[in-house]
Amino acid sequence: MTNPILPKLDRSALLGILGQQSDDVLADLMGSIAQAAINAQFEEYIGAGQYERTAERKDQRNGSRERSMDTRVGTIDLHIPRAREGNFIPPLFEHRKRSERALVLAVQEMFISGVSTRKIERVLQELGVERMSKSQVSVLCAELDAQVKAFRERPLTSAYPYMMFDALYVSIREDGRVSKLAVVIAYGVREDGIREVLGIDIVQTESRESWTGFMRALVARGLRGVQLVVSDAHEGLKAAIAAVFAGAAQWQRCRVHFLRNVLAHVSQHRKLEIADAFRSILAQGNADQARAQAVAVIERYAKAAPKAMEILANGLEDVLAFYAFPSVHRRKIWSSNPIEHLNGVLRKRTNVVGVFPNRKAAIRLLTMLLIEQTEDWITEHSYMSEESMQRLAMEKDSCYTEVA
């Protein structure tokens, strides 16, 4: 991709900046240049200038948001244009994200821990980072760790009607051995329709005890108002949900995970056919119609895929909970796809590291990524409209109560 040509900066504006008698002159100059570059990159991104009509236009302008960036000459404030359909991220920010700094630190700690390899050196070269002293790494780590701690321990002051839980595994070196540990994540949609990552932790295994401790820590921070919890059917996770949210929230089994379980017992040449039949069940207008459709599907394929139909019959009610909620929300709550997408983003970064030198380095990198994602969600349009969330509050006369 070629670099866009920067528009000419206003000469009088530049002279005005240079004529200032202040220590901020370089920051102002850098800010003007950076803003001009961002505006030019955005015009290239959408394929048109402001108010320009062209057949090459690929998107529409949708206002802007303010972002600050720390530089060697001080902090500069910038206006980042927003596109209606796409997600424009200026290269200037793409290369300076806090998560990139966390990634660099994770790699640096590997050197300090004596895990230097040619692969790690290549990663450092690609990132443009030289080796750093242990004291330099410690200073940078302390800065990021303070942000990580604040995010993971922040009070939860809103109600969160919808919750999702999931886990991914990362390799971490502990006591001289490399182990696969579970990264557990909580994702919620709060009462105004905004999405947030509420919590992250690293545990030894996805046991009932680990999940229960994680969920109760969320409750201690103020989690309330939960009406539906979405997850896969992992036994430890299910047991923890039943214990912590007992009687207060319904459980929705992720339809995507459930379909995979069903199709695992279907011959290859029938997989697409039975997958379509399964989707027809959840495309019905209400739960009773879905049950009737399920009976028809089970009868049709009982001989061709008996084990698959047994799993479908036994788990059907687990995937129908979403029907009790507003129809406008259903496609967003019948699976844990949103958190699965998050996991995909996290895996791309953890794959670069390979083996983390310790839990703290893993938590640092993953949390910084999740902070950025949450900030983006908060500044974007609501995931669910406030009007639909108010309707949910009126229809569901239930509230979350803490379980001891």
Confidence band of 255 (pLDDT split at 50, 70, 90): very high
Q: Which two tokens stand for residue 168?
A: 């991914």
Strands 250-253 and 74-83: unpaired
211 phi/psi in degrees, rounded to 5 = -65, -40
pLDDT of 342 reads 86
CA distance 219 to 221: 5
Q: Per mean pLDDT, which range of 101-105, 342-346, 386-390 is the poorest? A: 101-105
Residue scoring higher pLDDT (36 or 331): 331
Please tell me the predicted confidence (pLDDT) of residue 291.
Answer: 97
Parallel, antiparallel, or unpaired: how do β-strands 250-253 and 355-356 relate? unpaired
348: confidence class by pLDDT, cuts 50, 70, 90: confident
pLDDT in tens, 146-197: 889 999 999 999 999 999 999 999 999 988 899 999 999 999 999 999 999 9
Distances (CA, A) of 188 to 43, 48, 224, 336, 344: 34, 37, 11, 11, 18
pLDDT at 2 over 50: no
- Residues 273-294: tens digit of each pLDDT: 999 999 999 999 999 999 999 9
Nearest to 153 by CA among 323, 379, 367: 367
What pLDDT score was predicted for residue 78?
85
Q: Is the pLDDT of residue 3 over 60?
A: no
State yes or no: pLDDT of 125 exceeds 60: no
The separation between CA 383 and the C-alpha centre of its own chain, rounded to angstroms, equals 13
- Position 262 scores a pLDDT of 96
Tokens of 209: 């005890």
pLDDT at 135: 62
Residue 307 to residues 261, 265, 302, Cα–Cα distance (Å): 10, 6, 8
Comparing 97-101, 110-114, 255-259, 351-355, the range with the smallest average pLDDT is 110-114
In contact, 165 and 186? CB cutoff 8 Å: yes
- Of the given ranges (162-176, 204-218, 345-359), which has the lowest mean pLDDT? 345-359
CA-based R_g, the chain, Å: 25
Question: Would you place residue 124 in the very low, low, confident or very high pLDDT band (cuts 50, 70, 90)?
Answer: low
pLDDT above 60: residue 401: no
Cα separation, 365 vs 362, in Å, equals: 5
pLDDT reading at 266 higher than 80: yes
Which position has the higher pLDDT, 40 or 208? 208
Give me the chain's average pLDDT, please: 82
pTM for the structure as a whole: 0.69
What's the confidence (pLDDT) of residue 120?
A: 54
Token pair, residue 271, equals 């997989």
Of all residues in the chain, what percent are helix, strand and coil, respectively (each to 5)? Answer: 55, 15, 30
* DSSP, res 334: S
